[in-house]
Amino acid sequence: MGNLHGKVALVTGSSRGIGRGIAERLAGDGALVAVHCGSNEAAAEETVAAIAASGGRAFVVSAELGVPDDVDTLVGRLETGLGAHGESMVDILVHNAGLNLMGRPIEVLTPDEFDRMVAVNVKAPLFLTQRLLPRLRDGGRIINISSVSTRVASAHGIAYPLTKGALDVFSHTLAKHLGPCGITVNSVSVGYTHTDMTAGVLADPENLKRNIGLTALGRIGRIADIADAVAFLASDDARWITGTKVDVSGGVNL
Ligand code: NDP
């Protein structure tokens, strides 16, 4: 702990779930954290309050992704928040916000649903990164929250894994491009984890049992399991790891 003092992080979708866990962990390690939400500002304020209560520093950046001018809105508000804390640069960018429209197999998926998932899960991280490149400090970190569904066929449809696969390609392509600046880019491949996104699916005892059975370690993931892996990738200990995908799933389908 404490190895991120002086660093600035933006974690998208950190009002709730895995993103909140990542924001709290990075702030616990000393980073100033921009806690991003789409619409749930009360939850984002709660995350910031929890960080402050633990002695950390954070501020809210609210901007819905996947809508016109999303990146402009986010970056404008981020700049305001950074300025209020005497900062202008970002060291750690975690693309965590994601949309999974469950139960949309190919037979029923609509073009609009596909476009929405692409807009939130792929287009937003790409163009947010583009806009923040001038603010990304050399030696920085970009961490993309991907999914184990890129290697295990998903029961919930085809669009979501496609978007996460695109994010993985984004990671290794960008890793090569930003390597000369000492910026690492990696994906974290998440397995089933208890959050709002999976609450419905995991509330069904049969689904719960089946998904536990898929893991080598015999349980569903906890938010801290993911946050700890992200904190490692954000730290100096991971300086020689780039362009890869870290599987943080408890060993799904080994
Ligand atoms: P949750 O649904 O619990 O939380 C989603 C977060 O993303 C919230 O902070 C939400 O903000 C934000 N968000 C969602 N859509 C948008 C949008 N259009 N614009 C801006 N912000 C948005 O998700 P999880 O914590 O479960 O998932 C986090 C990441 O992990 C996602 O990328 C997901 O795909 C990935 N993942 C999760 C798995 C799991 O089992 N939970 C498994 C594999 C991958 P707000 O509060 O304002 O709505």
Residue 251 belongs to some domain of the structure: no
Residue 1 belongs to some domain of the structure: no
Rounded mean pLDDT of 105-132? Answer: 97
pTM to 2 decimal places:
0.98
Band (pLDDT 50/70/90 cuts) for residue 2 is low
This model of the complex carries an ipTM of 0.99
CA-CA-CA-CA torsion sign (208, 211, 216, 221): negative
Residue 252 belongs to some domain of the structure: no
**C-beta 190 within 6 A of ligand 1:** yes
Q: How many domains does the chain have?
A: 1
pLDDT per residue as tens digits for the range 174-196: 999 999 999 999 999 999 999 99
Rounded mean pLDDT of 163-171? Answer: 98
Most confidently modeled range among 98-107, 155-164, 236-245: 236-245
- Among residues 37, 47, 141, 160, which one is catalytic? 160
**C-beta 97 within 6 A of ligand 1:** yes
Residue 134 belongs to some domain of the structure: yes
The best mutation among 118, 188, 190, 225 to test binding of ligand 1, ranked by most ligand atoms within 8 Å of the C-beta, falls on 190
CATH number for the domain including 194?
A: 3.40.50.720
Is 192 noted as a catalytic residue in this protein?
no
Residue 196 belongs to some domain of the structure: yes
Q: Where are the beta strands (DSSP E) in the chain?
A: 8-11, 32-37, 57-62, 90-95, 136-147, 184-190, 245-248
Band (pLDDT 50/70/90 cuts) for residue 155 is confident
pLDDT per residue as tens digits for the range 211-233: 999 999 999 999 999 999 999 99
**C-beta 237 within 6 A of ligand 1:** no
Alpha carbon of residue 155 to chain centroid: 22
Residue 61 belongs to some domain of the structure: yes
Residue 254 belongs to some domain of the structure: no
Q: Tell me what pLDDT residue 196 has.
A: 95
Residue 26 belongs to some domain of the structure: yes
pLDDT at 1 over 60: no
pLDDT per residue as tens digits for the range 42-88: 999 999 999 999 999 999 999 999 999 999 999 999 999 999 999 99
Six-digit token string for 245: 């995908």
Question: Which residue has its alpha carbon closest to ligand 1 atom 46?
Answer: 40
Q: Which residues span the domain enclosing 30?
A: 8-244
Task: Characterize the bridge pairing of strands 184-190 and 136-147.
Answer: parallel
